[in-house]
Structure 1
Amino acid sequence: MSLEFSVLASGSTGNAIYVGTEKHKLLVDAGLSGKKLEELFAKAHLDPKDLDGLLVTHEHSDHIKGLGIFARRYKLPIYANAKTWDAMSGLIGEVPVDQKFHFDMETVKTFDDLDVESFGVSHDAAEPMFYVFHHEGKKLSIATDLGYVSDRIKGTIRDSDMMIFESNHDINMLMMGRYPWNVKRRILGDMGHVSNEDAGAALADVIGDQTKRIYLAHLSKDNNMKDLARLSVQQTLEQNGFSIGDKIDLYDTDPMNPTLVTRL
């Protein structure tokens, strides 16, 4: 079986992404209740009993809300870096020692036939990091919660077959919206989130010959809309010479419904 994935949930209310091969199956983040995660697995026609582990990106609630209960229920090992483990203390309940593992930033771990590469991002968490998955020449990158997209990140995710990439907010909606100024400043800052416009500009720098699908992720429920994000990113990419709908397709993600399981 090839590399497969489903964005089970993505957005400011909760995030979880399934990635698997024939020999190893992982869940990246568990930012919803245990019950809701099980419902999402069922909708995607996946079985959480098949999971072999949980990868954590950072300690914010929308990424770890159901982490402890899900790991305990299915006896899953949890992988996170040391600072994230410290930051999660008291947030996920007691986790048995034999289920706690360290995955350092800027390293590669091999899980049977799946190589997972971690990389750091700029976000207001202890030590946030995301992942690139490699399997039999195929490459899937996950990059959200980005204050900005550095050249180092671009080099890491460049020419992925599939990308799950943040398109958090429309700047005008954010500025005109109900959030207090300190929250707006945090979102717009270098440790906040990437706008639709900045997502398009960054993607224009990392799309390669292998790139086929881009999933726009972590949309704000208050400051974005699916159609707006897709049209904004598409317009920026087309201005940079990319033909959307030809060799490259843009896909939505949803906070309540999983994407179809896709195989590379």
Structure 2
Amino acid sequence: MPNLRIISDNAVSRVATLVASTTTGGLVAANLAKDTKSNVHRATGTSVTYTLTWAAAEPIGCVAIPFCNLSPTSTMRVRAYASNGTTVLYDSGAGLACPAPAQRPRGFTAAQAASAYAYGGGAYARRWFNQVSAFKLVIDIVDTNNLQGYIEAACLVVGPIWSPTYNASATSVSVIDRTELSRSAAGDQLADPGTISRRVPVDLRKMSPADRARFLDLVRNSRAYPVLLSVFPEHADLELERDHMLYGRRTKDSDIAYQFSSVYSTTLEIEEI
């Protein structure tokens, strides 16, 4: 099983151009560069191509699309190009994009749940590969079984991967329900439904000196910048991978402790945006 993977530097924030092959109304491709799930890009049908270009080479080892309405049978193809825009450095071919179906919150139909991002619905698409330095990226998505009849996505994450030498020793997933409970004058319990998101803490009890240095670089970045965390990347249990993959911000400071003989430990806690 691969070790956990983190993308802490999203190259989409530096993109020179970001173009979608089709767009519905004002739901433009530029929304993919925003770290929110309430602004989306929407294609006109069940296939779309995203083309990104940069002025300088960007190291890329993953393309991820948090908060999308893709079905489990959707496919993603990633092609990376050199500075001339025509020499192909990497071609993934078409492969399954999403690890498992979207969660279906109570009160939502399956089609509604596909884009119920604020209430725990929606999916995460991802494609992992060996890192390349690219000036241009083309992402083809096909989802003929899409329940809503069009492709929608809120965020796009592209960047290099950090994976520690030693895997996490422990993790968990918390569902954060912001529903507020109160009592009426008659004593009845009332509920004001709130949004739902996830929080995943990771215990790294054993880190090498190189991993300690890389982790310090990660935590020196402000919490203002989200990171993509996948605790069980490419795991055979697709629902386990889905439940422990999230795009979010650090919720607290991470102390790095010296244990013994140049071995370090720390914890990392990410809460979904």
Report the TM-score when normalising by structure 1: 0.29
Q: TM-score, normalised by structure 2?
A: 0.28
Which protein is bigger by CA-based radius of gyration? 2
